[in-house]
Chains A and B, each alone.
Chain A
């Protein structure tokens, strides 16, 4: 699996409010054996979840599932099982035999946490890297983060959005740039999640677009009236317009998300469902989406949540990927990128990872750069 597909999901006409376009995705038949509920973290468990800092994040999402494929009760009345499991959690193992529940990285922390999490720190103790890296891992970069309320027009657009019958997902476009995608297994899940979308985090790029671009155009259907003689013809034309939009959306508007190849990591399997995290290949000039997806054995998408990285973030991702590909060897990494080592160090420094180097090494490279520039 290298790509995302929207098999079983159909795009319906988008609803525009100012610069925001929300494109609903409708599922042919809802998935009943996997349901979501936004229970957050249990009160008696302040350090649960992925990391302690996730506790205050409002988006702790939990997935539950059943063995026999019967429906889990709808949100709010969901069974609350005591078993909790997180990949590589430091908590003691649960005593229940079957683990039927998993937590997700909350949206708030995702943008900054995703990159360092997927790239582990150096595995070979090269002399350039400071000892702190080996002890603590990669530092979190403190990007300015924008929640949905800050993105101009998004709160209103979500408020006036009319949910389709059977809708299981939405794609959020700001100024016709894909900002995020959400897919849920069941329409009721989506209905429950819809109001929380405004609390999602968005990158600086999306925030800026929302300010810069006021209006996006509607896609209005146009019929060729000379070809229509009966009511049946008119109905056919309506259906054709529907199909035309769905094709256009998949091939043009969502292509940045669907056409790109991804690296899937962190498989976490339970029953027929697999949770994966994915990151892009960081091709310069292309949209970069990271996120999480749950698919079933047939590869059908049950759950999806993506975040669009801004240019700065994808540059940083590119650096980390190159470093990890070359086992954190600075010389080899610089060579694979076709640049000199001091330039690479300067880039790493500019990306906010300067503290990874030993101070004297960093100073040395800085001096070299200054001399070269001078």
Chain B
């Protein structure tokens, strides 16, 4: 009886981790945003109530930013239910997780905490600690003005504690303050009446002022170009070209510095002709990015085959355009670097990854068999798991393969699923015995394949707990000592 409970617990935790890695609460191909959010909320609540310490520990397992913020929010909301020891660990985990989250996510979280009226002592302390450790509060005060102000107020913080002059005047009385000595504040003040100052502000702030000064989009994009971050620059390239702002469009050198998955998304968003023209450049950039991710692990994985899903459902949704296909493409380049011998198999049978497009059916069964035929050391399947030609063929092939053709288990099979199935409350599995893990960014692929051994449904909670504990241990020892 205990065994069953044990397994259930392990399954629950894995199910949550997979979902929290893959789901972003956005619309997917098969389910809409509401369903995704509702399902995720249910899983969060379930985990919090039943496995609180493991729930906090999932922050170390690479859950995506949205779910990390949701976990922190729930932990802070329900501090009363936790024991003092739990609270101590949680506090450290949260502090560490906040330093890893992107800045805007954290301000978003603080605003959410404020709206939900979560204002316990622990929350205030955590917010204060995070705010005090910011390297450039003046910049953030300008860029995230209202969220910053809200956070300061909500945390009952004294502005003087922050290492920045004039912050109080900037936040609470800039009308009466006159000129600032801090250049960022002064630029912001001048931008209210001086067109030229607008172009010295961060892009997101300047956008609002540009509307106020009735600056045309073309002029705005042309002049704001030096202030853009790398992500903004890449995102605006196409629309800038449309408006005739050449300053942004010409920048291609940035490609080689892009993270792998971002780069794959960028490549797949290009029109087919452009991909054809820039084939060499794009391939080189993708390979370089993959090499950076692989690092020392390059070439150590032995013979690897990959079944990559480019069926129509890989086109994602209007909110996550081509996301499953993007992950498949990035995984393709990464596995190529990791393996000593690599054999990619796209579902459509195409051999040209740069020209990949989402089309056709998901006939996983035959493709998996093609991959297994050469008996590789590892078979990776990157697919949303909607095996539909026919339904269940992949499961049947994998079952017979394991029972009859590879009883010594020489070939490891791992299924990476970039899509959370809201209706099934989990990432879709290929077969009961094949490990399935969620994936958000292809960069996490090596860790996830390692983690996949837990996802077969045969491990108990003790083993899993040991793994997670060691993860937490490792994560927290990297902890940066807090200044406050």
Contact = CB atoms under 8 A, between A and B. Distances in A.
B365 interface: yes
A162 B313 contact: yes
Most chain-A CB neighbours within 10 Å: which of B359, B360, B361, B392? B361
Interface stretch (A213-221, A272-280, A338-346): A213-221
B9 interface: no
Interface string B117-143: 000000000000000000000000000
A149 interface: no
Given A162-B361, A163-B360, A231-B373, A225 B391 contact: no
Contact of B366 (A218, A230, A238): A238
Contacts of B388: 13, 15, 162
Contact of A219 (B348, B391, B396, B400): B391
Given A162-B311, A222-B396, A223-B400, A12 B391 contact: no
A16 B391 contact: yes
Contacts of B311: 162
Interface in A217-269: 218-223, 225, 228-231, 234-235, 237-238, 241-242, 245
B361 A231 contact: no
A242 B373 CA distance: 20
Given A222-B396, A223-B400, A228-B400, A164 B389 contact: yes
A69 interface: no
10 contacts: A15-B388, A162-B389, A163-B360, A218-B390, A218-B392, A229-B405, A231-B369, A238-B366, A238-B369, A238-B393
Given A218-B392, A220-B391, A220-B392, A234 B29 contact: no
A160 interface: yes
Interface in B92-114: none
Contacts of A228: 400, 404-405
B362 interface: yes
A13 B366 CA distance: 14
A241 B394 CA distance: 13
Contacts of A225: 399-400, 403-404
A242 B399 CA distance: 18
Contacts of A234: 369, 397, 400-401, 405
Interface string B382-412: 0000001111110111011101110000000
A235 B312 CA distance: 25
Most chain-B CB neighbours within 10 Å: which of A218, A221, A229? A221
B30 interface: yes
Interface string B290-323: 0000000000000000000001110000000000
A163 B312 contact: yes
Contacts of A222: 396
Q: For this complex, into which size category does the number of interface residues on chain A fall?
A: 20 to 34
Those 7 A-B pairs whose CB atoms lie nearest each other, nearest first: A13-B390, A220-B392, A218-B391, A162-B312, A162-B361, A225-B400, A15-B388
Contacts of B392: 218, 220-221
A221 B365 CA distance: 11
A2 B268 CA distance: 51
Nearest to A14: B390
Interface in A158-193: 160, 162-165
Given A228-B404, A238-B397, A165 B390 contact: no
A164 B391 CA distance: 14
B366 to A, nearest CB: 6
Given A162-B360, A162-B361, A229 B390 contact: no
Contacts of A237: 400
Contacts of A220: 390-392, 395-396
Nearest to B349: A165
Contacts of A14: 390
A6 B391 CA distance: 24
Contacts of B359: 163
Contacts of A242: 390
B369 A235 contact: yes
Contacts of B312: 162-163
Most chain-B CB neighbours within 10 Å: which of A14, A15, A163, A234? A234
Given A165-B360, A234-B400, A235-B369, 9 more contacts: A162-B312, A162-B313, A162-B361, A165-B348, A218-B390, A219-B390, A223-B396, A228-B400, A231-B369
Interface in A128-169: 160, 162-165
B316 to A, nearest CB: 12
A162 B362 contact: yes
B456 to A, nearest CB: 19
Contacts of B403: 225
A12 B396 CA distance: 18
Interface string A1-34: 0000000000011111000000000000000000
Contacts of A221: 390, 392-393, 396
Nearest to B30: A160
Given A220-B396, A225-B404, A229-B404, A238 B365 contact: yes
Contacts of A231: 369, 372-373, 405
Nearest to B403: A225
Nearest to B374: A231
Nearest to A239: B366
B361 A164 contact: yes
Given A13-B390, A219-B390, A238-B365, A160 B29 contact: yes
Contacts of B400: 223, 225, 228, 234, 237
Nearest to B391: A218
A82 B106 CA distance: 64
A266 B396 CA distance: 49
A221 B404 CA distance: 17
Nearest to B360: A165
Contacts of B360: 162-165
A141 B237 CA distance: 58
Contacts of B405: 228-231, 234
A225 B396 CA distance: 9
Most chain-B CB neighbours within 10 Å: which of A222, A225, A242? A225
Nearest to B390: A13
B346 to A, nearest CB: 13
Most chain-A CB neighbours within 10 Å: which of B30, B311, B391, B397? B391
